[in-house]
A = this chain, B = another copy of it.
Amino acid sequence: MCRWLAYSGSPVNLEQLLYKPQNSLVVQSKHSQLGAETTNGDGFGLGWYGTLDTPGIFRSTEPAWNDRNLQELSAHAVSSRVFAHIRASTGSAVQQTNCHPFRHGRWLWMHNGSIARFPVVKRDLTLAVDPALYPEIEGSTDSEVFFYLALTFGLEEDPPAAVARAVGFIEETGRRHGFMFPIQMTVATTDGETTWAFRYSSEGRSRSLFHSTDVSMLRLQYPDNPMLHELSDETRIVVSEPLGDLHGAWHEVPESTCVIVRGGHEELRPFEPSIPQTVA
């Protein structure tokens, strides 16, 4: 499927973030260790917050590992909030509008996993999207429709509740079509201030997801690691698989969990789908 990374904290150079770690996201584009696919070469995307109200997005259909523009931009860009995604298509076209993250106003969204037999349920799901949002859908992926469902169900007001409703609706729709396990997902979304990440699947065997530890703890543990001294205490990374093997640096996010990262605080909450009132 895919791999992704959500960074927040002290302003970081994107080359340091995306290329330098031993098992960096760019490395994972060719050789993922924990992914459903080892190769995530069907395009990539980057979302970052700068001085404007809305984040920038840079998306390409090339594999991340050989894209020179990604390397140039990463070398020169600094941001304190970055979403990055590498794609392994499960059939939908390799085109920029199918690359993550997706954007709506200040919001970004990226997804690893899939909605089961999406062509069969696509129409039902798309019809449930708020007609005012509908024209914004540009691509053909399940992930983008999922985003617009979450927006329809109130993502901008209460993200965990909105994602729960979107997942509940997707599961209900899939089961109505006779699919046992309608959704498989790790998702990250942000409004530029807080990041919400979700690990869930209908079958209870979700794709891998990890979050980084308190940096100040790691610094005590590894006093000689320079990178740890450049990052501020509130820096946090949520990622599909660890970026290296520093012992103690990464915690696996449990099944059916929502991780909320705001400044240097993270909170893990149980996540379970709910049936949206407006649709049920």
State the oligomeric state as a number of copies.
4
- Find A135's partner among B39, B61, B119, B135 (CB 8 Å cutoff): B119
Residues of B within 8 A of A42 (CB): 63, 66
Interface of A is mostly: mixed
Tell me the chain A residues, 92-126 only, with Cβ under 8 Å from chain B: 92-97, 119-120, 122-123
Q: Would you call A131 and B140 a contact (CB within 8 A)?
A: no
Q: How large is the interface on A (under 10, 10 to 19, 20 to 34, 35 or more residues)?
A: 35 or more
Instruction: Give bound CA distance, A75 to B125, whole Å.
Output: 33
Question: A271 interface residue, CB < 8 Å from B?
Answer: no
The digit string for A19-52, where 1 denotes a CB below 8 A from any CB of B, is 0000000000011000000110110000010111
Known: A41-B63, A123-B131, A138-B140. A72 touches B96 (CB 8 A): no
Instruction: Give bound CA distance, A220 to B137, whole Å.
Output: 48
Residues of B within 8 A of A61 (CB): 62
Q: Would you call A75 and B56 a contact (CB within 8 A)?
A: yes
- Find A73's partner among B66, B73, B89, B137 (CB 8 Å cutoff): B73
Q: Would you call A39 and B30 a contact (CB within 8 A)?
A: yes
Instruction: Give bound CA distance, A222 to B97, whole Å.
Output: 43
The digit string for A122-143, where 1 denotes a CB below 8 A from any CB of B, is 1100010001001101111000
Q: How far is the CB of A14 from chain B (nearest CB, A)?
A: 11
Residues of B within 8 A of A211 (CB): none
Question: A58 interface residue, CB < 8 Å from B?
Answer: yes
Tell which of A42, A66, A68, A119 has the most Cβ of chain B within 10 Å. Answer: A66
Instruction: List 14 interface pairs A-B (beta carbons < 8 Å), by A numbering.
Output: A30-B39, A41-B65, A41-B66, A51-B76, A52-B75, A58-B72, A66-B89, A68-B93, A69-B69, A93-B96, A95-B97, A97-B140, A122-B135, A127-B127
Q: A39-B41, A93-B95 are in contact. List 11 more A-B contacts (CB 8 A).
A: A41-B41, A41-B63, A48-B76, A50-B76, A52-B76, A56-B72, A58-B73, A92-B138, A95-B95, A123-B134, A139-B140
